[in-house]
Amino acid sequence: MSQLAVVGTRMLTGAKPHKPGAVDKIAARRIELAEAALETLAELGYARTSLREIAQNSEFTHGVLHYYFEDKLDLICCCVRHYKARCVTRYDQVTATARSRDQLLSGFLDKLGETLRTEPHMHRLWYDLRSQALFEDAFRDDVREIDESLENMVWRVTSRYAELGGKEIAVSRSALYAVFDGLFQKHLLRHLSGDQDAVSTLQEEVRQLMPMVA
Amino acid sequence: MSQLAVVGTRMLTGAKPHKPGAVDKIAARRIELAEAALETLAELGYARTSLREIAQNSEFTHGVLHYYFEDKLDLICCCVRHYKARCVTRYDQVTATARSRDQLLSGFLDKLGETLRTEPHMHRLWYDLRSQALFEDAFRDDVREIDESLENMVWRVTSRYAELGGKEIAVSRSALYAVFDGLFQKHLLRHLSGDQDAVSTLQEEVRQLMPMVA
DNA sequence: GCAATATCTTGACGATTGTCCAAAATTATC
DNA sequence: GATAATTTTGGACAATCGTCAAGATATTGC
């Protein structure tokens, strides 16, 4: 019997491990494997990703996955949770340092374009996993949590933008996030379809939009 | 050798069949099978849908699918195309008959709620397939076409709404569609998660939004 | 340095997948 | 009503899937 079940229970209940560092080691490997899984998922999509393919993108063999994860769903849930940490602070630097409305907008647009240009695969994975949550209960809580984090992120940026202009945000949190999310998703598809202007078009759309919402 | 390849070529090139009615018959069966496939896809999602499962939801066996479709991708592409026809005119009746701003808004919200309540599975399939287009080239053109149709639909409704108020739409077509699409997707997830207030919350969000965009 | 534990590899399993094909069943044609 | 063409069936195939367990290897505690 592997120690996983015990460790898993510990992690869920928050009980302390008998041996200090043991959980950390296991957790570290779980994250390592989850990151390899994220790469594979981003490349192939949820529907085409197998455990063997994930293992091949790591430095281990496929058997080890069942040593650290209950099953495939457990692994992918771990991926989703780990994915979150990457995203939610993406624009905080811009928000914190910008000293004018234009500066904030420019910094935001730059970062937005950079994200679309350098990480399209990771973002298409997000949309894929969010769609999976529509079918699979196990994903729903995590996906909702990430969605909320992203909503908060958009709200923070826009709040600062409004503040710098002495204005108030004119739409609801949901609507604000929805419009940014929808625009990003649309131009992500364009970008992946080979549209060279996708990045600049997105930036232009957002540039026109910002003064309307705050 | 089946006639499919010939028929397929005919359909692509638009050449006339040797025997009148032969293509229609084949096309009709293709649609019949595509509709059975749509039901299965809506139930299980793209990742978990197999050809045998699709056939079981139809009145045929799994072998017949390869008589009418090149392969699985061909079948699902046919599904996507067929799906489109159902959606794009959903709100046209409301737009055509409404004689006041309030009437249009109420009719739109009613239809929106009814859609979310009665067809959540078909809509989660749409979001699933749109995400698949981020990975699979074969879906991209069809998905883009559907997206455009939906964008136009939203634009038609909002245009009429603006017209009835003697106003102009204040945002771009992309942004307008993005915000509606994003809000719908969010509340679809809520609704499928068992949130009883999802429908009314969506309606309330849209009710607040409409006067802001037109 | 030995025993015990933890970690990893490897191969196997039953099930399922998309695809293909020969034959049966059905329909159309004369 | 016989023949030909079309449509459908159902089984076989190779490949791949998630899962599991036994054994090899590495690490730790004493």
Residues 6+ apart with CB under 8 A from B18: none
Distance, CA of B126 to C1' of D5, in Å: 39
Identity of residue B98: A
- The whole-angstrom separation of Cα A6 and Cα B118 is 44
Evaluate if residue A125 carries a pLDDT over 60.
Answer: yes
Give me the sign of the Cα torsion angle B196, B202, B203, B208.
Answer: positive
Residue (of A112, A125, A27, A141) closest to A83 by Cα position: A125
- The better pLDDT of the pair A24, B13 is held by A24
SS3 (DSSP) at B89: coil
SS3 (DSSP) at A187: helix
What distance in Å separates residue A107's CA from the closest CA in chain B? 21
**8 Å CB contact between B84 and B125:** no
The model's pTM is: 0.92
Tell me the mean pLDDT in the region B114-126: 97
- The better pLDDT of the pair B9, B50 is held by B50
Q: What value does the mean pLDDT of chain B take?
A: 91
- The better pLDDT of the pair B9, B119 is held by B119
| A15 confidence band (pLDDT: 50, 70, 90) | very low
Evaluate if residue B14 carries a pLDDT over 80.
Answer: no
The string of DSSP letters for A80-98 reads: HHHHHHHHTTTTHHHHHH-
Evaluate if residue B9 carries a pLDDT over 80.
Answer: no
Of A77-81, A132-136, B159-163, least confident by mean pLDDT is A77-81
**Predicted local confidence at residue B21, as pLDDT:** 61
Residue (of A159, A174, A137, A177) closest to A92 by Cα position: A159
In chain A, the percentage of residues whose pLDDT exceeds 70 is 90
Query: Measured between beta carbons, which residues in chain B are less than 8 angstroms from residue A127?
Result: 130-131, 134
Evaluate if residue A161 carries a pLDDT over 60.
Answer: yes
Q: Which residue is nearest to nucleotide D11 (CA to C1')?
A: B63
In chain A, the percentage of residues whose pLDDT exceeds 90 is 83
Evaluate if residue A202 carries a pLDDT over 80.
Answer: yes
- The whole-angstrom separation of Cα B95 and Cα B134 is 32
How many C-beta atoms surround the C-beta of residue A40 within 10 A? 23
Evaluate if residue A7 carries a pLDDT over 80.
Answer: no
pLDDT (tens digit per residue) in A21-63: 567 889 999 999 999 999 999 999 999 999 999 999 999 999 9
| A18 confidence band (pLDDT: 50, 70, 90) | very low
| A11 confidence band (pLDDT: 50, 70, 90) | very low
Tell me how far CA of residue A211 lies from CA of A208, A214, B95, B140, B159, in angstroms.
7, 5, 30, 32, 22
Footprint of strand D on the protein (CB under 7 A): A 19, 49-53, 62-63, 65-66, 71-73; B 2-3, 22, 25-26, 29, 59-64, 67-68
Evaluate if residue B169 carries a pLDDT over 90.
Answer: yes
Tell me how far CA of residue B76 lies from CA of B47, B49, B51, B113, in angstroms.
12, 10, 10, 28
**Predicted local confidence at residue B44, as pLDDT:** 98
**Predicted local confidence at residue B25, as pLDDT:** 87
Chain A, nearest residue to B204 by Cα:
A172
Tell me the mean pLDDT in the region A61-80: 96
pLDDT (tens digit per residue) in B186-202: 999 999 999 999 999 99
| B20 confidence band (pLDDT: 50, 70, 90) | low
Give me the sign of the Cα torsion angle B121, A143, B138, A47.
Answer: negative
**Predicted local confidence at residue B3, as pLDDT:** 45
- The whole-angstrom separation of Cα B177 and Cα B155 is 8
Evaluate if residue A126 carries a pLDDT over 80.
Answer: yes
Contacts by residues A155-159 (CB-CB < 8 Å, ≥ 24 positions apart): A156/A91, A156/A92, A156/A95, A157/A91, A157/A94, A157/A95, A157/A104, A157/A108, A158/A210, A158/A213, A158/A214, A159/A214
Burial B55-82 (b: 16+ CB within 10 A, else e): bebbebeeeebeebbeeeebbbbbbbeb
Give me the sign of the Cα torsion angle A108, A109, A112, A117.
Answer: negative
